[in-house]
Structures are given as structure tokens and as C-alpha cells.
């Protein structure tokens, strides 16, 4: 299944958050090198404050056997480009939560990726029906540069909240900042409010530094 043809997107498209511009291609932006995928060693873990107090994990085949879904959603990069109308196929975050319920007092998650990269999310954003651990975009498997075998897509937030090369989810009873949040990015990352940088944070937007 090939890439669908797209109509030209006007800069005034109402799907574009403030300060964003439409992007037809898909730039590959990431911190550090592209990891080498080793299928026999790969696993996906859920740990932290689980309802059972136990860690759960799937191997590559087990993760791909989880219920799958396709979500049509946009991707907004903090560098100000937006890719509109993508079809993301994979395992929904809601399905992971159903398989491994969090403890009742969990408020946030930390999503962990290769090389120790992390992104923190409010549980409500993680549980949103549009949040998906994507393996495919527009019917095509992700490339290594774009996050193969699994990347998180959180359409309602800037794209740095959706790490490439995801390996684990940590359930947390309190918020703490992830990789880019510790380096000056906004803790919440709502593109419609242009929450790009930590100096824009208001009281209650994030944990104390």
C-alpha cells in the first residue's frame, strides 16, 4: 500500500496550531544515532506503579500480537512543521493500559526509548484514544530513521512527547521531567497553546525543578 496523494495544504488550514506550517515530506529529526534493531533481544516493558505491583513485558512477536488499531491524526513538531492527515497503525496506549492496569493513584507515565531517552506524559494524555504505539504510517512500516519498530504518537501534543524506538512505559504516582523537559522544553507541550519552552510554564504546569 503506497503513500496516498495529498492535496495542497493552505497555510491557513484550521488544523494547523499557531506558529505551525504545513509539511509535505517527513523530516527525520532525532537526538543521537539510529539504534540497530535486534529482534531476539527486543522487548517492551511496563513497570513502576502497576496495579499488580509487577513488571510486565512482551517480546517482539508478543507485542505485535496485541490488539491493533489505526488512528488518523496530525503530527506537530516543535520546530514548527506539521504533517496533517496521517494514518498511524499500531497498538493503542489504551490497549496497553487494559493489558497492564496502573495503580489507582497513578497520575503520569514516563515513556522510555533506546539510549535512555524519555518523555513524561499526564496519564490522561497517554490514555487518550488517539495515542498509539505506531508501527506503520499510511500503510507502510516505519523506517529505522522514523522510529522502527515502535514509536509513540500523541497527536494532541508536540511530537517530542512521542519518542521513537520505544522500549518501556513507567507508571508514576508523581510527575517528573523527561529528556527534553529537563533541557528547557515545556512540560505539557500543547501545540494549540504554543507550549514550547519551560520559561512559558505557569504554576502547576510541571514538577518543581
Is residue 25 included in any domain, yes or no?
A: no
Give the separation between CA 56 and CA 171, rounded to whole angstroms.
12
Cell of 55: 513488571
**Strand bridging mode 132-137 / 56-59:** unpaired
Q: Which residue has the higher pLDDT, 147 or 30?
A: 147
What's the confidence (pLDDT) of residue 29? Answer: 64
Is residue 97 included in any domain, yes or no?
A: yes
Strands (DSSP E) found in 1-126 = 21-22, 43-48, 56-59, 69-76, 81-92, 108-113, 118-122
What's the confidence (pLDDT) of residue 35? Answer: 87
Asked whether the predicted pLDDT for residue 2 surpasses 50, the reply is no
Is residue 7 included in any domain, yes or no?
A: no
Quickly state the pLDDT bin for 10 (edges 50, 70, 90): low
Cell of 82: 506539521
Quickly state the pLDDT bin for 1 (edges 50, 70, 90): very low
Is residue 196 included in any domain, yes or no?
A: no
Is residue 17 included in any domain, yes or no?
A: no
Are 133 and 96 contacting, i.e. CB atoms less than 8 angstroms apart?
yes
pLDDT 10s digits, 61-115: 999 999 999 999 999 999 999 999 999 999 999 999 999 999 999 999 999 999 9
For the segment 27-43, the average pLDDT, to the nearest whole number, is 83
Is residue 183 included in any domain, yes or no?
A: no
Q: Domain limits at 135?
A: 46-176
Q: Identify the CA nearest to 109 among candidates 171, 67, 52.
A: 171
Residues 6+ apart with CB under 8 A from 19: 80, 194
Give the separation between CA 8 and CA 99, rounded to whole angstroms.
41
For the segment 168-180, the average pLDDT, to the nearest whole number, is 97
Is residue 75 included in any domain, yes or no?
A: yes
Q: Domain holding 136: CATH number?
A: 3.90.420.10
Helix (H) or strand (E) holding 70: strand 69-76
What's the confidence (pLDDT) of residue 4? Answer: 42
Number of domain units in the chain:
1
Amino acid at each position: 500500500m503506497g503513500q496516498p496523494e495529498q492535496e495542497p495544504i493552505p497555510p491557513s488550514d484550521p488544523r494547523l496550531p499557531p506558529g505551525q506550517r504545513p509539511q509535505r515530506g517527513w523530516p527525520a529529526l532525532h537526538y543521537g544515532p539510529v539504534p540497530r534493531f535486534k529482534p531476539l533481544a527486543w522487548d517492551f516493558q511496563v513497570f513502576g506503579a502497576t496495579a499488580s505491583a509487577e513488571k510486565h513485558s512482551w517480546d517482539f512477536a508478543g507485542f505485535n500480537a496485541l490488539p491493533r488499531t489505526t488512528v488518523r491524526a496530525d503530527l506537530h513538531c516543535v520546530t514548527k512543521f506539521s504533517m496533517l492527515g496521517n494514518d498511524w497503525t499500531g497498538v493503542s496506549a489504551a490497549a496497553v493500559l487494559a493489558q497492564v492496569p496502573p495503580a489507582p493513584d497513578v497520575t503520569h507515565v514516563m515513556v522510555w526509548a533506546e539510549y535512555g531517552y524519555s518523555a513524561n506524559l499526564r496519564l490522561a494524555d497517554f490514555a487518550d484514544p488517539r495515542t498509539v504505539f505506531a508501527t506503520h504510517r499510511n500503510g507502510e512500516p516505519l523506517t529505522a530513521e522514523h522510529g522502527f519498530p515502535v514509536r509513540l504518537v500523541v497527536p494532541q501534543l508536540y511530537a517530542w512527547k512521542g519518542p521513537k524506538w520505544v522500549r518501556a512505559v513507567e507508571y508514576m504516582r508523581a510527575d517528573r521531567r523527561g529528556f527534553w523537559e529537563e533541557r528547557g522544553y515545556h512540560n505539557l507541550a500543547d501545540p494549540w497553546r504554543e507550549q514550547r519552552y519551560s520559561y512559558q510554564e505557569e504554576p502547576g504546569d510541571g514538577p518543581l525543578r
